[in-house]
Structure 1
Amino acid sequence: MSSYLEGRLTHRPLFYRIRPHCDCTSFAGEFALNLPQTRPSSRIFYGWYVLGASFLILFVSSGAAFSFGVMFKPMIADLGWSRSAISSAFFLNMSVYAFSLIITGKLYDRYGPKWVIVFSTICFSAGYVSIATVNSLSQFLLFYGVISAAGLGGTTIPIFAALVSKWFEKSRGLAISLALSGACLGQFVLVPLFTTFVLRYGWRKSYVWIGLITLVVNIVLALTVLRADPDELGIKPYGWKDSGQQDVKPGSSQHGEVRDLNFSQAIRTPSFWLFLVVMFICGSGDFLVTTHLVPMVTDYGISPSTGGHMLAWFGLMALPGILLAGPASDLIGTKIPIALTFTLRVALFLMVLKYHSAVSFYIFSLLFGLTFLVTAPLTPVLVGRLYGLSYVGILSGFITTIHHLGGGFWAYMGGVIFDKTGSYSLAFSISAVMALAAVIGMLLIKEERHAP
């Protein structure tokens, strides 16, 4: 029997053979060491789980952030504030949020996404729940303008665009677009839900529930699913080709020819400053519309419920825009898609200045929504192409900071202009001119790898 067994084993591969006089422990060790180390080919790439978790966090966080538009008039009616006063809180919120992106970008580059998202979510949720207790503008400025805004920086698009970009080598633009589409669907699904909740239960209870839902969803996904990059699991990015590629170290490029540019080097290039101006203009248009769309359409006799649905469809139409932007950047670069979005915005701003019917406002909401998040997946893609991926977190974070400073400032000025003139016409006229300037600025950017 033993000779038969020995004969059978000699025809087995090396890792099945038992050496003479080998004890069970050494055999087990040799067996384990000699097992093939490749994973089953049918195993799902872990980057898809990261993408899915990013989608869900953005779904909730986006719906929560854009609930401000439907709270606007109910809070004014309840607390007696002017539009410029409540818009000042939004300006402060965007300013704090914008600067928090720089901090979260640095923390993300150093420590990874998990704990940045956890602590940011706690801060954001605490601010939203506390809003339910406000009775003065100073309290609202503190809870909404500072506390929740500081937490928002670690739970929104820039962090997840940078995160997903590290998991995908092939079709990076498409992967980022898929993850960020969660923000579009979150706005589409949750804004009408929050509108109904506000009309039925009031804005105070709504803020409490939004804060609690965000807290649970974000923390669970951050702790159980998210990972910083493929290296954490000992794997390569999706689509990585072994031949001719090496692991990227900080300060080096994938091709080993041009070093990646850090922040101090990138700001010395004209393309960086051109893109900053474009993104300031982009943010100004984005948040003027998302903040004042519902108040503006109700000024023309449209119901708050219909206005909320316009804002929701605005968010949904961002989905095809963001899904087209990623693949388009993979094929033709980022300049043309971004320039086209601002060209469309010029026409839309001019249209809404002349036509004020429900149909024209729906057209405006749908088509402006199409342009809303185009720059979100393209910003880290463009940064990577111009300066490399080593410092994509801090560079994208700073660019998005300028974007949101522009958004907060112009949303505030929209309220001031309304209080002074009784309409939004002047604000939309200036926005049309700025959008045209953004088209020109985008076309002047050199979309090529920049050297230090």
Structure 2
Amino acid sequence: MNALSRLVAPRFHYGWIVAAVVFCVLLATAGTRATPSVLMLPLEHAFGWSRATISLAISVNLALYGLTGPFAAAAMQRFGVRPTVVTALLVLASGVALSSLMTRPWQFVVTWGLMVGSATGVAALTLSATVVSRWFTHRRGLVMGILTASTATGQLVFLPMLAAVVEHAGWRAVIAIVAGVVLVVTPLFWFLLRERPSDLGLRPYGEASDAPIVTHAPTGNPLVTAFSALFSAARTRDFWLLSGSFFICGASTNGYVGTHLIAMCADYGIDEVRGAGLLAAMGIFDLFGTTFSGWLSDRFNSRYLLFWYYGLRGLSLIYLPFAFGFEFFGLPLFALFYGLDWIATVPPTVRLANDVYGKSAAPIVFGWVVAGHQLGAAFAALGAGYLRASLGSYTVASVISGSLCLCASLMVLQINRRRTGTPELASA
């Protein structure tokens, strides 16, 4: 047991240190992923690129963010969490820094689409699921909710500041700040994270004192492991229900609101700083909403939680085009209502994945479910951009996104309804 673990052991479990370190990394990567929404208008003005062109790079980013997840989870099992995530953080910082030199749209696609998208896919929800499954037996839902809320906190911390920097110092200054933050958290992650509780002679938080200390680490090719989990899960109905509902989740959050809300505000005469402030306010509400959702998922049926989350989100998105016509009951009400719900879907979705597929396979299967989430985000980011370019407003995109959420609220009620035991995949 190292010096830090000996220092904190009398006070609390080292798993909470691990969770705090992962939270900081997710905070930085969440801020990085949110940055394109601040860059959209400056790049449009600086290079004359259309929103559809910029949305293409963002959609590539969102798609790779999701598709990287299952392979990242498998690589964490095979090579370890620390080397996998640190490599991704270095690629992330490099991609962001190189984008300061871009002058052509394809360069934006390569840096922010390919490099940033794939790197953030490693330090994302699959990282949270892997760490939570290894370090916590009790309070899993709560910890997953806190880690998921880092996405909202990243917006809260970064977006208003970055919007102000764009306004006063230009978009290249934003690039320098984001790359610098990523480089700061990289050594923090390397020195403080431990792979498993057994590395410190501990059991997961909440594990029975007479339970054996697990030291086994899976071996094998990460590509084979990831695809094996996919092929096994794809034979189950629940996988398609989880992936389909999470596809809609991504389309209605990262893809639509996260990418286009600031630009949508500009259509109604609201400047970038105020638009970013609106996203930040939603981040504050989501910080509480998602953490509370994790607490609820430890206590209530996750299917019913998801039913309400998707249903209420759908109603708020259908209301969004009309919110600009009101004052108190307009955007502030939308920010409160939508913000509390933004990514509250993640903890109960992780809980369902664990219930259906078991502790061992769930992180990789959830990685594939996240891939569906980000494909939905890419679909919405690109689709909303083209609808705005074609129709001159985002109204149709808002109604489509809200209607899809209402469909998802019905889909989730069918997940894990007929299972009485753990499927074979759990032992894979």
> TM-score normalised to the size of structure 2?
0.89
Instruction: Please say if residues 55 and 183 of structure 1, whose CA atoms lie closer than 8 Å, have aligned partners that are also in contact.
Output: no
Instruction: Please say if residues 106 and 394 of structure 1, whose CA atoms lie closer than 8 Å, have aligned partners that are also in contact.
Output: yes
* Matches of 1:426 and 1:325, distance apart in 2: 30
Equivalence map 1:1-400=2 (5 Å): 42-217=10-185, 219-242=186-209, 247=214, 262-286=229-253, 287-357=255-325, 359=328, 360-400=330-370
Gapped regions of structure 1 (runs ≥ 5): 1-37, 252-260
1:39 positional shift: 11
Give the secondary structure class of the aligned counterpart of 2:149.
helix
The answer to whether structure 1 residue 442 and structure 2 residue 409 are counterparts is: no
* Matches of 1:431 and 1:39, distance apart in 2: 49
After superposition, the CA RMSD in angstroms is 2.2
The answer to whether structure 1 residue 404 and structure 2 residue 374 are counterparts is: yes
1:196 positional shift: 1.0
1:348 positional shift: 0.7
Greater Rg by CA: 1
Instruction: Please say if residues 288 and 410 of structure 1, whose CA atoms lie closer than 8 Å, have aligned partners that are also in contact.
Output: yes
Q: Deviations over 1:197-248 (max 9, x none)?
A: 111111112112211211221x112211111221222210111114577859
* Matches of 1:132 and 1:310, distance apart in 2: 27
**Paired letter, 2:364:** I
User: Alignment partner for residue 451 of structure 1, among 408, 423, 428?
Assistant: 423
* Matches of 1:328 and 1:270, distance apart in 2: 25
**Paired letter, 1:308:** A
Identity across matched positions, percent:
28
User: Alignment partner for residue 416 of structure 1, among 386, 394, 405?
Assistant: 386
**Paired letter, 1:149:** G
1:384 positional shift: 1.1
1:398 positional shift: 0.7
**Paired letter, 1:240:** E
Distance 1:437 1:215, change over 3 A: same
- How many pairs align? 405
Q: Deviations over 1:23-66 (max 9, x none)?
A: xxxxxxxxxxxxxxx99972431101101101111222212211
Q: Deviations over 1:135-180 (max 9, x none)?
A: 1101111111111112111222321232123211111111222233
* Matches of 1:244 and 1:292, distance apart in 2: 49
Instruction: Please say if residues 161 and 376 of structure 1, whose CA atoms lie closer than 8 Å, have aligned partners that are also in contact.
Output: no
Q: Deviations over 1:80-112 (max 9, x none)?
A: 011111001111111222221122121012222
Give the secondary structure class of the aligned counterpart of 1:169.
coil
**Paired letter, 1:383:** A
* Matches of 2:72 and 2:323, distance apart in 1: 42
* Matches of 1:121 and 1:427, distance apart in 2: 33
Give the secondary structure class of the aligned counterpart of 2:208.
coil
Distance 1:250 1:107, change over 3 A: closer
Distance 1:221 1:40, change over 3 A: closer
* Matches of 1:199 and 1:41, distance apart in 2: 47
Distance 1:310 1:39, change over 3 A: closer
Instruction: Please say if residues 318 and 403 of structure 2, whose CA atoms lie closer than 8 Å, have aligned partners that are also in contact.
Output: no
Distance 1:138 1:173, change over 3 A: same
More helix by share: 2
Aligned to 2:223: none
1:263 positional shift: 3.9
1:265 positional shift: 2.8
**Paired letter, 2:404:** M
Instruction: Please say if residues 318 and 373 of structure 1, whose CA atoms lie closer than 8 Å, have aligned partners that are also in contact.
Output: yes
Distance 1:125 1:244, change over 3 A: closer
**Paired letter, 1:366:** L
